[in-house]
Structure 1
C-alpha cells in the first residue's frame, strides 16, 4: 500500500495583517500528491496530520514556506539584455532557456536600468492558511509513476501562482507559463547570466 496520499482541500491565504492574498476557487478544491514537493512543506505537513472533513488555521513560517529574503538574489541589468523593448514593475522573466531556470521579477525600472528579484514574492512572510480538508486517500501506482494526482483540480488552480502554497518551483512555473504569481505580471523568458549569483534561484 502506498504511503503517499492524494489530498484535496479548500483554502484562504492571508498575511499576518489579515489581508487575503489568495484563495481556492469556489466549489473547486485543490488536489495534490504528497511527497513530491507540489505544495510548500509547512502546509503539506499540516494537511497530512489533519482528518478528512476538518477545518484548521495553519501558520507557515518562512523556513517551511518560501524561505527568507536574500538580497544577493537582486540584480540590476541594462534593458538591452532582455528580449523585449519595454518592461514594467511586476513583469516576470525566466533566466535561461531551460524550463527549470530561475524566475525573476521586475521590481524597479529607472531609464534603461532594470532591477530583477529572484526571491519569491512571499519570501520572509508568515503565511496564514484557513484550510478545509475535503478528501484524503492513498495514491495509486499510476499517480506515483506520473508524479501527480489524476483528478480534477490541482495546485494553484490556474490562479495566483504562489498564493496557494505551491512549492517555489511550481509557483515559478506558473509565473512563467501563465504570467501570474501573487499579483499578476507578464511571463517572458530571457537568456542572461547574472553575475555574483545575483538572480540565481535560492529555492
Structure 2
C-alpha cells in the first residue's frame, strides 16, 4: 500500500537540524532518533506535522528509504516574538502540579490550553515573581533534515479515523 490520506504510517528516522546564519548553514546536528525499538506512527493527513513533511512522504511504500530537508519556512517558521510572554510565577504553584525544579531556565513546562489541548512552553527567564515563557515550537528557526525508512503502511481502522490517531501497539491505548 502507498502512503495516502487516512493511512497509518510507521517510520524510523534520524532528525538533524541546522540554522542559517549570515547566509551560511551550520553543520546539521542530531536531535532525535526513532529506531525499530521506538518507531514513529501517525495517521497520514492528521499528523500535526509540517504539511511539507507529509507531502514528501505521500506515494511512498513500505520498506522504502527516504531523505529530505524541510526549510525553516516549510517546517515551523521563524520565531514569533508575540509568543514570548511574561506570566506571574504563582500560576505555576505546587498545587497546580509544578515543582520549583520545573521552573528552572531552559526547562519545558507541560501545559494545556483553554480547550484542553496539550502544549508546552520553554522557561526563558525566571524573574523571581514572574516567568518569561516561550510558546514557539522548539524547532522554530531550524531547517529539518530527515533520513529514515518506512516500516509500515496500512489502512486506518474506522475507530482510528474517528479518533484522529493511531491505536494499538504503536498508538494510543484506549
Same fold, TM-score > 0.5, yes or no? yes
What does residue 56 of structure 1 align with? 66
Per the alignment, residue 4 of structure 1 pairs with 6
Residue 45 of structure 1 and its aligned partner are, at CA, apart by 1.6
1:125 aligned residue (142, 153, 159) = 142
- Decide whether the 8 Å contact of 1:79 with 1:112 is kept in 2: yes
105, 128, 132: which one aligns with 2:122: 105
The answer to whether the 8 Å contact 2:5/2:45 transfers is no
Which structure 2 residues correspond to residues 16-165 of structure 1 after superposition, within 5 A?
16=18, 17-84=27-94, 86=100, 87-89=103-105, 90-94=107-111, 96=113, 98-100=115-117, 102-154=119-171
Report the Cα offset of residue 114 of structure 1: 1.5
Deviation, structure 1 residue 96:
4.9
Q: Which runs of 5+ in 1 are unaligned?
A: 156-203
Q: 2:21 matched to which residue of 1?
A: none
Query: Greater strand share, 1 or 2?
Result: 2
Secondary structure of 1:49 counterpart: coil
The TM-score normalised by the length of structure 2 is 0.74
**TM-score for the superposition, normalised by structure 1:** 0.65
Matches of 2:118 and 2:168, distance apart in 1: 28
Equivalent pairs, count: 154
1:98 deviates by 4.0
- Greater Cα offset, 123-132 or 20-29: 20-29
CA distance in 1, matches of 2:85, 2:5: 42
RMSD over aligned Cα atoms: 2.6
Shift in Å, 1:127: 0.6
